[in-house]
Amino acid sequence: MDALDILTDLDNVFPYFQPIFSADEHRVIGYEVLGRYRGPAGVVSLGPFFQDENIPEEFRLEVDYEILKKALEKALDLDKDIMLFVNRDADMLMHNDGEQFLNTLREYEKKGISLDRIVLEITERNYKGDIDHLDHLLNYYRTYGIKLAIDKLGNESSHLDRIGQLAPDILKVDLISMRSTASAYNFNDILYSLSMLARKIGASLLFENIEMTYQLQYAWKNGGRYYQGFYLQKPAENFTERNLLKEKLKNECHQFITHEKKKLESLYQVTLEFNEKLNDFINKKRKITNYEESLEHLAQLLDGAAFRLYICDEDGFQKSANFFKKDGGWVLQKEYLHKNWSWRPYFLENIMKMRINKKGILSDLYTDIETGETIRTFSFPLNADDYLFVDLSYNYLYEHDGLL
């Protein structure tokens, strides 16, 4: 599209609104403001226009503020609790030290749009300016009640340290990354880190580009509070009826809950079976004195499920060698004797749970450092001093419904 055609035809520049739905209310809680142009070829997105750095910044800003003003004018008729998500590139936001953006919002605050309904979606992808200056401006905006969302998470531009530094109100996760099976594995790890960080800083997760049911389920399962995408509703010139998908989302959420309950029941059942098996073993053995002999018997008992077994004390020091499944047989890895594992996340917490509850526990899914496979570990108190750790193979998890 020709930039001059757009600049000389601002009457045909206007906002589109894509609704954002909440997990807790199952209805519209906000809209993302998007730019559109009605030309000879029909309505087209202004995304390429704003991203074209060959177009002078002043031209892009003029169009951007035309869209913002029209969006705010239209939003005057919305319910007073509906949020407006406004995209801003960091470089363009810093034009005139960010005063134009704030002045525009304050102009409409006088007309009835509270600034705590505004969510600034900031993209720092190619920001060339002073990062401290940008942070100062963002913090200044927040004193007016403006919320901050970090955009473009789930791709190469996301940086956990930057998120921690800004402590935004909303983290926006792009599910387009899930389309690539090659990156799905890394995406899961990144998302887990983001969800933990969001919880620590008190931020909400917003999942965008939801295009299928399984992506909505993925967002729900991974702590998404807000959802957005073509599967729910496409961007449109007019606002959506707030409760349009209330029943649909309620029913789908119920299906997700049912599925997750079944999975949790499977985890509980496996935990119960391992506890019974190992309690029988302990009752027959009565006292464990020879660690390697005991592990050899346990390896036979748990063959087909386990690929590694070892015994630690309550401080995480390994009191046995590893029994490791290799080429269909079990080998002894003596180099692991006396190693300490207390540095691992949740290790001491799990030891305390086992000591108090006097029963074993099943870990969440994680990647094994040595094999690179997705596994779970079953931990079990052998006595007052010793704790057994059984690493369960990926094949075993795959064959048992609900363990992956």
Q: Specify the pLDDT at position 152.
A: 65
Side chain identity, residue 391:
D
153 band by pLDDT with thresholds 50, 70 and 90: low
CA distances from 306 to 135, 192, 224, 264 (A): 50, 25, 34, 21
Amino acid at 39: G
Output the CA angle 109-136-84, nearest 5 degrees.
35
What residues does 303 pair with on adjacent strands? Answer: 306
User: 231: closest CA among 45, 63, 48, 21?
Assistant: 21
Burial class (CB in 10 A: 0-12, 13-18, 19+), 319: middle
Question: How high is the pLDDT of residue 130?
Answer: 86
Q: Calculate mean pLDDT across residues 161-170.
A: 87
Task: Give mean pLDDT, residues 301-308.
Answer: 95
Rounded to whole angstroms, what are the CA distances from 391 to 190, 202, 367? 23, 34, 11
Helix (H, G, I), strand (E, B) or coil at 72: helix
Question: Is the CB of residue 88 less than 8 Å from the CB of residue 35?
Answer: no
DSSP state of 344: S
Q: Is 63 exposed, middle or buried (0-12, 13-18, 19+ CB in 10 A)?
A: buried
pLDDT digits (tens, 9 = 90+) for 77-106: 999 999 999 999 888 899 888 999 999 999
Q: Which residues pair with 361 in a beta bridge?
A: 379
383, 283 contact by CB (below 8 A): no
Burial of 392: CB neighbours in 10 Å, binned 0-12, 13-18, 19+? buried
Domain with CATH 3.20.20.450 in the chain: 3-231
The pLDDT score that the predictor gives to residue 156 is 46
Which residues lie across from 323 on neighbouring strands? 309, 332
- pLDDT value at residue 237: 97
Check residue 183 and give its pLDDT: 56
* CATH 3.30.450.20 domain residues, the chain: 259-399
**Neighbouring C-beta atoms of residue 75, cutoff 10 Å:** 23
pLDDT one-digit tens code per residue, 198-233: 888 999 999 999 999 999 999 999 999 999 999 999
Task: Enter the CATH code of domain 259-399.
Answer: 3.30.450.20
When pLDDT is averaged across residues 304-327 and rounded to a whole number, the result is 96
Q: What is the pLDDT of residue 157?
A: 43
Helix (H) or strand (E) holding 367: strand 366-367
Please tell me the CATH code under which domain 3-231 is placed: 3.20.20.450
Give the pLDDT confidence score for residue 189 in this predicted structure.
75
Measure the CA–CA gap between 272 and 280, rounded to whole angstroms: 12
Which residue pairs, CB below 8 angstroms and at least 24 apart, start in 150-156? 150/121, 150/122, 151/87, 151/121, 151/122, 151/123, 152/123, 152/125, 153/194, 154/178, 154/187, 154/190, 154/191
Question: 14 has which bridge partners?
Answer: 36
Q: In the predicted model, what is the mean pLDDT of the chain?
A: 91
Main-chain phi, psi angles of 393, to 5 degrees: -70, 160
Q: How far apart are CA 70 and CA 66, in angstroms?
A: 6
Q: pLDDT band for 178, please (50, 70, 90 cuts).
A: low
Instruction: Give the SS3 label for residue 136.
Output: helix
Give which of 131, 180, 121, 126 is closest to 151, Cα–Cα. Answer: 121
Write down how long the chain is: 404
